């Protein structure tokens, strides 16, 4: 029989009465829980949360967590806590203590809430202490990931300090302690640790928190760590750490002092001028390739001191430059020829100085050295007449590549002739063009009106009565005269010249127009 109102079925037999009813979602969840299929039970409860009456999602979830813990799947159990416990801080704290009892705080540490909700500081400190006792790297990772306001920073700092007493060189703990100091705004202590560790973030820390007052006595450490970054930072902040202070701090480390002063000189040739004398020795000792460019660019280093240092160290190229700069070009040339034995450099030096006496000295020195003669023949054609050199060559002397040198001289000579002819053509064409332009200009009319005056009698150039006849002479220089005011020329030529321009030696201006009426 079927009871429609109650959705019940009655099955009657001689011995039993069986009552059957339709299974609902609660029955299904009961069956899943009985079979320990907690994940499916949780999913079914979430789907039918409005229709189930016997079960609660939270209870099923907690049962699921307990089941996973019993099975030893601690990481999965901890991960499920995020979804099941949600924002319930009491349940979170209960589960953390449960994980602590079974020695699995590390498993749940990755999933602890950090914002909304936030647990009691003690919970986070407990986890950090657990890592500090057994896993320094994990401890460091949590310090980086967790906001500093989740726990009592002072307690954690003290715990780290205590561990460092046992292992003072542990880089992981030192780096983590520096991060804790940074969060606690104890930047000076953090900076000391970063410098000790040579940590890449040390310069970022200095800039971010303006710690320039804290590094005044740590410049050597910064330079030892990364001299390039340190120098750039110091030069960019001269107003906070003066050049004099930096040089003073680096006094006992001349190689670092050189790096700083060299970069300063590259930025500005005049800012560190008081140290240019010191830099001569520093370049000579640590950076000879840049000594000669320094001597060329500096206008403040004492030349006598530089010459003394270069001569002591037998720096020939630098000595040659200093001698020439001090006006002793002949000694400089002699050093090139005797010390360097470099005819090309000697010729280049003579070209730079452009002094006939130097060329004479060079020829005299080279006249008994065939290789030098070859070099001279190849290079002096445009500066000295090669005949002067060829006439001095002794008869019978063997000169390497003489034929090629003579051919080159002839070619250079032909090239000069061609250049001169080309220049002459250009000059003639330009002169003709300018002459035509001047002629066209002089052929143009000149305005003469009532405002113009006679340069001789200073009266108006045009008569007030236009009916009267008049005779006016206008020169190319624009000076105007009445015809009768001009002196009579004594020369045979009829060409007249402006008296004013002739008197001032500006060149005579011939008459360009004679007006008559």
113 shares its domain with 1: yes
* pLDDT computed for residue 421 by the predictor: 92
Q: Is 333 in contact with 366 (CB distance < 8 Å)?
A: no
401 shares its domain with 460: no
User: Which of 83, 98, 119 is the endpoint of a domain?
Assistant: 119
2 shares its domain with 114: yes
In this prediction, residues 172-186 reach a mean pLDDT of 85
Max intra-chain CA distance, the chain: 174
pLDDT band at 516 (very low <50, low <70, confident <90, very high): low
Pairwise CA distance, residues 67 & 461, whole Å: 127
In this prediction, residues 8-31 reach a mean pLDDT of 82
* pLDDT computed for residue 289 by the predictor: 92
Pairwise CA distance, residues 278 & 306, whole Å: 10
| Cβ contacts of 45 within 8 Å, gap of 6 or more | 29, 52, 55, 56, 57, 60
405 shares its domain with 487: no
Least confidently predicted of 148-152, 207-211, 303-307, 355-359: 355-359
Tens of pLDDT along 50-73? 767 677 777 777 787 888 888 888
362 shares its domain with 461: no
174 in any annotated domain: no
41 shares its domain with 87: yes
Which pairing describes strands 511-516 and 2-3: parallel, antiparallel, or unpaired?
Answer: unpaired
* pLDDT computed for residue 2 by the predictor: 66
In this prediction, residues 5-20 reach a mean pLDDT of 84
* pLDDT computed for residue 495 by the predictor: 62
The DSSP 8-state label assigned to residue 133 in this structure reads H
* pLDDT computed for residue 47 by the predictor: 72
| Cβ contacts of 178 within 8 Å, gap of 6 or more | 189, 190, 193, 194, 197, 199
347 shares its domain with 384: yes
25 in any annotated domain: yes
* pLDDT computed for residue 259 by the predictor: 93
CB-count burial class (<10 Å; 0-12, 13-18, 19+) for 324: buried
Least confidently predicted of 124-128, 166-170, 350-354, 425-429: 350-354
In this prediction, residues 26-45 reach a mean pLDDT of 76
User: Which of 119, 145, 173 is the endpoint of a domain?
Assistant: 119
283 in any annotated domain: no
* pLDDT computed for residue 437 by the predictor: 92
Range of the domain at 20: 1-119
In this prediction, residues 350-369 reach a mean pLDDT of 75
5 shares its domain with 108: yes
pLDDT band at 508 (very low <50, low <70, confident <90, very high): very low
* pLDDT computed for residue 509 by the predictor: 53
417 shares its domain with 486: no
273 in any annotated domain: no
426 shares its domain with 462: no
Q: Is 513 in contact with 477 (CB distance < 8 Å)?
A: no
Tell me how far CA of residue 287 lies from CA of 62, 259, 292, in angstroms: 73, 9, 10
197 in any annotated domain: no
Nearest to 387 by CA among 406, 402, 401: 406
pLDDT band at 504 (very low <50, low <70, confident <90, very high): low
Pairwise CA distance, residues 130 & 153, whole Å: 16
Tens of pLDDT along 396-452? 677 777 777 777 777 877 888 889 999 999 999 999 999 999 888 878 888 888 889
Tens of pLDDT along 74-115? 888 888 887 788 788 888 888 888 888 888 888 888 888 888
Average pLDDT, the chain: 82
* pLDDT computed for residue 263 by the predictor: 93
* Residue 32 clears pLDDT 50, i.e. is over it: yes
User: Which of 119, 146, 166 is the endpoint of a domain?
Assistant: 119
38 in any annotated domain: yes
Tens of pLDDT along 289-308? 999 999 989 888 898 999 99
Q: How many domains does the chain have?
A: 3
Angle between helices 136-145 and 121-134 (to 10 degrees): 150
Q: Considering the entire predicted model, what is its pTM? A: 0.55
Pairwise CA distance, residues 409 & 420, whole Å: 17
325 in any annotated domain: no
58 shares its domain with 111: yes
Tens of pLDDT along 241-291? 899 999 999 999 999 999 999 999 999 988 889 999 999 999 999 999 999
413 shares its domain with 489: no
206 in any annotated domain: no
| Percent of the chain whose predicted confidence (pLDDT) is above 90 | 13
* pLDDT computed for residue 430 by the predictor: 95
Hey, which of 37-41, 226-230, 356-360 has the most confident mean pLDDT?
Answer: 226-230
């Amino acid at each position: 029989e079927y009871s429609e109102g109650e959705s019940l079925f009655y099955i009657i037999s001689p011995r039993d009465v069986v009552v059957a009813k339709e299974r609902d979602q609660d029955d299904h969840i009961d069956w899943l829980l009985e079979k320990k299929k907690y994940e499916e039970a949780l999913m079914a409860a979430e789907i039918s949360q409005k229709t189930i009456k016997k079960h609660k999602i939270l209870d099923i979830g907690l049962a699921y967590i307990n089941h996973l813990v019993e099975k030893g799947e601690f990481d999965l159990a901890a991960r499920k806590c995020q979804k099941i416990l949600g924002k319930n801080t009491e349940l979170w704290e209960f589960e953390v203590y449960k994980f602590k009892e079974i020695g699995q705080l590390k498993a749940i540490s990755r999933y602890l809430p950090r914002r909304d909700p936030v647990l009691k500081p003690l919970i986070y400190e407990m986890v950090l202490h657990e890592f500090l006792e057994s896993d320094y790297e994990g401890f460091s990772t949590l310090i980086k990931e967790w906001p500093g306001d989740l726990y009592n920073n002072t307690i954690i700092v003290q715990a780290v300090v205590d561990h460092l007493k046992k292992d003072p060189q542990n880089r992981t703990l030192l780096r983590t302690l520096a991060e804790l100091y940074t969060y606690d705004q104890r930047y000076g202590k953090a900076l000391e640790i970063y410098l000790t560790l040579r940590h890449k973030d040390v310069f970022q820390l200095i800039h971010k928190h303006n710690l320039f007052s804290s590094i005044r006595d740590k410049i050597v450490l910064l330079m030892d760590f990364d001299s390039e970054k340190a120098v750039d930072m110091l030069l960019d902040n001269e107003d906070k750490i003066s050049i004099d202070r930096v040089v003073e701090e680096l006094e006992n480390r001349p190689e670092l002092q050189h790096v700083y002063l060299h970069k300063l000189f590259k930025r500005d040739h005049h800012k560190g001028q008081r140290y240019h004398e010191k830099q001569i020795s520093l370049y000579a000792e640590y950076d000879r390739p840049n000594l000669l460019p320094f001597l060329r660019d500096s206008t403040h280093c004492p030349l006598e001191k530089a010459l003394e240092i270069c001569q002591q160290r037998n720096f020939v190229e630098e000595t040659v430059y200093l001698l020439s700069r001090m006006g002793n070009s002949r000694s400089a040339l002699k050093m090139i020829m005797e010390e360097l034995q470099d005819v090309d450099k000697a010729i280049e030096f003579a070209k730079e100085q452009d002094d006939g006496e130097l060329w004479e000295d060079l020829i005299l020195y080279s006249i008994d050295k065939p290789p030098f003669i070859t070099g001279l023949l190849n290079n002096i054609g445009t500066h000295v007449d090669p005949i002067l050199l060829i006439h001095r060559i002794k008869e019978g002397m063997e000169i390497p590549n003489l034929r090629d040198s003579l051919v080159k001289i002839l070619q250079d000579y032909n090239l000069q002739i061609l250049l001169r002819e080309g220049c002459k053509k250009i000059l003639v064409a330009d002169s003709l063009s300018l002459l035509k332009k001047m002629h066209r200009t002089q052929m143009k009319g000149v305005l003469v009106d009532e405002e113009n005056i006679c340069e001789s009698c200073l009266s108006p150039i045009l008569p007030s009565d236009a009916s009267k006849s008049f005779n006016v002479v206008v020169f190319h220089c624009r000076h105007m005269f009445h015809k009768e005011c001009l002196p009579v020329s004594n020369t045979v030529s009829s060409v007249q010249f402006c008296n004013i321009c002739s008197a001032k030696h500006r060149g005579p201006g011939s008459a360009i127009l004679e007006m008559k009426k």
